[in-house]
Amino acid sequence: MGHVAAYLYSLAIGLLVGLERERSHRGQAGQAYGIRTFALVALVGTLATEAGPVVVGVALAGVVALLVVGYRRTNEADPGTTTEVTAMATFLLGVLCYHDAALAAGIAIGVVALLMSKARLHRFVSDVLSDAELQDAIKFLVGAFVILPLLPRRGVGPYNVLNPSRIWLFVVVLTGISWVGYIAVRLLGARRGLLATGLASGFVSATAATAAMGRASREPATSPAALAGAQVASVVTYFELVAIMTVASPSLAWRLVLPALVGAVALGAVSMLGARRSPARASSGSATATRVVTLTPALVLAAILTAAPFVARWGVQVFGARGAVVAVGVAGLADAHGGSLSAATLFVKGAIDTDVALFAIGAAITANTLVKCVVAYVAGGARFARRFSLGVLGSQALFLGALAIEVAVR
């Protein structure tokens, strides 16, 4: 029954790909490959696989020979090779159906979607994508897929807290957020695009989102929306805090719900008011005036955040368990949720009581908020940092006030 399913999948894939190819060439004389040809090519791939590896090699050579002959017949009317390459891919998908039919079907759907996007892709490359954007895309891809996998993933240096892979990952995340924000602004306009980017990137790193929005704020047309996007990313921090604590310690999470809600609502209201000051759509010039990927700010910010784990480890060494609030607060310089998780771990192990754990979590969130204010200044300048800090520090004050009331009441 498994082999029957492989042939059914293979036939369906061949018919689907062939349908798209035949429709794309309708009206053209002398087309060598149609829906029946692609269906047969896929079935031949599956049949050859059942016969053995040698037969697969011979069948592939035969398909290539037929493709060459067909191309020689039709190259004057259609000099492209997309159909020939698609036919070869269809044969290989037929081979894959014998081993993993579901995977083959998924790839086939992707292939068809790519083929159907011909006009959009050509228009994007010729009319939308600029040379600078292409260069920036190459920089990002090299950083993410060439440099990052080569870096050590273990701790090195003093205290073994310097992790080259995590440091460079921050650079990749920051530049990736910049890309998402740039595309969102071009598609949705400044207000909606940067707000959506801030909300989404806040789940990855609110600090990196603050840096990316700080860069975007240097363009006057997008400055209000960038500020709102940075603040929205920090709103996510409160919700993530409760989610993480729910896993680490449900009792702590329950006591953090009200303070987190107060902080999130206050900062969310401030960010929405700021977003209304931004024009609904940015002009085309504002969307393209700056480079998408600028590595220097990302490297500077990575250096700042790299120093935080050293300080955190030093705090633990100096203060010990009795200074848990200070130590966790220092750990929050690097990551708010990491510091909060440290406090929850100490609480679960019985090293600290509930009140100390809550104060330690408050210290970690506060320390990380201060780091984001520094990042805002480095990336966006004094004006952006001042406005950003007013919102997040006011929200933080309300969070700490509600947290203090929670401790005092219970």
Measured over the CA atoms of residue 383, residue 388, residue 393 and residue 395, the dihedral's sign is positive
Give rounded-to-5 percent helix, strand, coil for the chain: 85, 0, 15
- Single residue among 92, 124, 156 that ends a domain in this structure: 124
Residues 331, 373, single domain; the answer is yes
User: CA-CA distances (angstroms) from residue 185 to 95, 171, 216, 267, 354?
Assistant: 43, 21, 10, 22, 44
Whether 155 and 111 share a structural domain: no
**Same structural domain for residues 114 and 153?**
no
Q: Do both 119 and 85 map to the same domain?
A: yes
Distances (CA, A) of 216 to 122, 168, 198, 335, 384: 28, 21, 11, 23, 10
Q: What is the Cα–Cα distance from 96 to 12, expressed in whole angstroms?
A: 13
Q: How many domains does the chain have?
A: 2
Question: Is there a single domain that holds both residue 22 and residue 84?
Answer: yes
227 and 107 in a common domain: no
Q: Is the alpha carbon torsion for 395, 366, 361, 174 positive or negative? A: positive
The answer to whether residues 114 and 162 belong to one domain is no
Domain boundary at 67, 95, 124, which? Answer: 124
Q: Are residues 329 and 349 in the same domain?
A: yes
User: Do 230 and 293 reside in the same domain of the chain?
Assistant: yes
Q: Which domain holds residue 323?
A: 131-409
Q: What are phi and psi of 162, to 5 degrees?
A: -90, 110
Q: Are residues 99 and 149 in the same domain?
A: no
Indicate the SS3 state at residue 277.
Answer: coil
Interatomic CA distance for residues 48 and 338, integer angstroms: 54
The first and second tokens of residue 182, run together, are: 């740039």
Q: Is 364 helix (H, G, I), strand (E, B) or coil?
A: helix
Do both 315 and 371 map to the same domain?
yes
Q: What is the pLDDT of residue 109?
A: 93
Q: The tokens of 275 are what?
A: 């977003």
CA distance 29 to 126: 28
Which of 74, 94, 124 marks a domain boundary? 124
360 sits in the region (left: phi over 0; alpha: psi -120 to 50; else beta) called alpha
In this structure, the answer to whether residues 117 and 195 fall within a common structural domain is no
What's phi and psi for 7, nearest 5 deg? -70, -35
Nearest to 222 by CA among 136, 284, 165: 284
pLDDT tens string for the chain (410 positions)?
Answer: 457 888 999 999 999 999 888 887 765 555 557 788 899 999 999 999 988 888 989 998 988 888 888 777 766 666 667 888 888 999 999 999 998 889 999 999 999 988 888 777 777 677 666 676 677 778 778 888 888 888 887 767 666 656 778 778 767 776 776 666 666 666 666 567 777 777 776 766 788 788 888 888 887 777 888 888 888 888 988 887 888 788 778 888 888 899 999 999 999 898 888 777 655 444 444 443 345 455 665 666 566 556 655 655 565 566 654 555 666 666 666 667 666 766 777 677 676 777 878 888 888 888 888 888 988 898 888 889 999 999 999 999 999 999 888 878 76
What pLDDT, on the 0 to 100 scale, is given for residue 286?
A: 41
- For the entire predicted model, the pTM comes to 0.56
pLDDT at 344: 75
CA–CA gap between residue 208 and residue 378 (Å, rounded): 12
Nearest to 230 by CA among 363, 398, 389, 336: 389
Phi, psi of 294 (to 5 degrees): -125, 110
